């Protein structure tokens, strides 16, 4: 049965829409739609693409500020847990000027050299626990770190800020978003939250590469949601990452801020002056990169997916590496899939004999 509204209600609705279009909300939407994105790669030769990558990588580094991991640190072993098929080392990395970084290191049984994979977690109160299989109540198929160690990789899984044990007292935020609050507080101190977490991801990568059972020439990075965003950033800026699997993160900031977006953990100030997610992702080319996209993922806006991929394809195409860029479009929501990811990692890392 159709709903009947009065003329007065209809006029009030129109007035509300008009105010939304003419007020702050409308202004932000118009600014998002007309974002300059001055450094988009338009295509061209391999040489032109490499030159663009150098320029955009430099600009991205300028926007992020300091993100390099410390050169020296102390590794504190909090606990070592022997499990049926692997060992879980619970570590704390400590360096001057940095917050202590909790990292799980998963090591398969046996003393042979193995490839290493950085497994990065997304949003959630448990931080990196679900990735290594500690939290049984975790979202569906979130234990990709555990699955990877069982497939023969040494896995490092850091805990980011402000999640898990690094969030501390959630009640102290009184219902406010810890990402937004932490972003503002760090900005006042001249720090950027996403750069702090990128540093911790690269710090964990350095830990992994230096491990005596890891072949530092065979390193990969995977992550879901925010972990996918940081996988993209880490792979874009760390060429030692040979292959990347980015799950649940093919959404653009230009699209996100059209709504009331507030995730300070993902914000890079002034990014849209120069580029967006496709431009950052294009810095990974020509290395293999797989994007996982759930067809029922409410965070993926369908009309933005193909244009975003097309911008990434320009760089891969210019470098003659289109086959290295792939998409796993699967039936499901905002979760890790693994159907194409595990064979890709095996082909590029595990199957290589050294």
Average the pLDDT over 53-67 and give the result.
98
52 exposure class (CB count in 10 Å sphere: 0-12, 13-18, 19+) = buried
Q: What is the pTM of this model?
A: 0.91
Share of the chain above pLDDT 70, in %: 92
Q: Where are the domains of the chain?
A: 71-270+288-305+326-350
Instruction: Give the pLDDT confidence of 73-101 residue by residue, as tens digits.
Output: 999 999 999 999 999 999 999 999 999 99
Instruction: Give the pLDDT confidence of 281-290 residue by residue, as tens digits.
Output: 999 999 999 9
Q: What are phi and psi of 51, to 5 degrees?
A: -65, -40
Measure Cα distances from 120 to 44, 105, 170 in Å.
33, 12, 21
Residue range 71-270+288-305+326-350, CATH number? 3.40.50.1820
Average the pLDDT over 14-38 and give the result.
76
Beta bridge partners of 224: 247
Query: What is the arrangement of strands in the sheet containing 114-120, beginning at the earlier edge strand?
Result: 74-82, 86-94, 101-108, 154-158, 114-120, 214-224, 241-247, 289-294, 325-330
């Amino acid at each position: 049965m159709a709903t009947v509204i009065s003329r007065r209600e209809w006029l009030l609705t129109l007035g509300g829409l008009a105010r939304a279009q003419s007020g702050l909300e409308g202004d932000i939407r118009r600014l998002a739609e007309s974002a300059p994105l001055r450094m988009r790669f338009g295509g061209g030769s391999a040489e032109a693409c490499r030159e663009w990558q150098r320029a955009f990588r430099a600009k991205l580094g300028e926007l992020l500020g300091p993100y390099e991991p410390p050169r020296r640190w102390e590794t504190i072993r909090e606990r070592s847990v022997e499990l049926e098929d692997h060992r879980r080392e619970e570590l704390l990395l400590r360096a001057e000027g940095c917050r202590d970084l909790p990292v799980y290191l998963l090591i398969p049984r046996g003393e042979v050299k193995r490839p290493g994979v950085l497994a990065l977690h997304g949003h959630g109160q448990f931080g990196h626990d679900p990735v290594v299989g500690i939290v049984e109540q975790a979202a569906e198929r979130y234990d990709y770190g555990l699955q990877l160690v069982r497939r023969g990789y040494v896995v490092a899984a850091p805990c980011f800020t402000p999640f898990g044990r690094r969030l501390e007292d959630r009640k102290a935020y009184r219902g406010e978003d810890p990402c937004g609050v932490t972003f503002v507080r760090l900005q006042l101190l001249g720090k950027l939250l996403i750069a702090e977490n990128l540093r911790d991801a690269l710090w964990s990568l350095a830990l992994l590469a230096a491990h005596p059972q890891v072949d530092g020439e065979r390193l990969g990075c995977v992550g879901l949601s925010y972990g996918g965003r940081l996988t993209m950033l880490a792979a874009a800026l760390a060429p030692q990452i040979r292959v990347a699997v980015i799950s649940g993160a093919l959404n653009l900031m230009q699209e996100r801020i059209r709504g009331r977006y507030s995730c300070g953990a993902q914000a890079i100030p002034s990014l849209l002056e120069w580029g967006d997610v496709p431009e950052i992702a294009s810095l990974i080319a020509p290395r293999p990169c797989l994007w996982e996209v759930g067809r029922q993922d409410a965070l993926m806006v369908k009309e933005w997916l193909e244009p975003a991929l097309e911008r990434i394809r320009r760089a891969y195409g210019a470098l003659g590496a289109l086959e290295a860029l792939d998409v796993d479009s699967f039936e499901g929501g905002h979760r890790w899939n693994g159907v194409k990811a595990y064979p890709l990692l095996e082909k590029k890392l595990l199957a290589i004999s050294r």
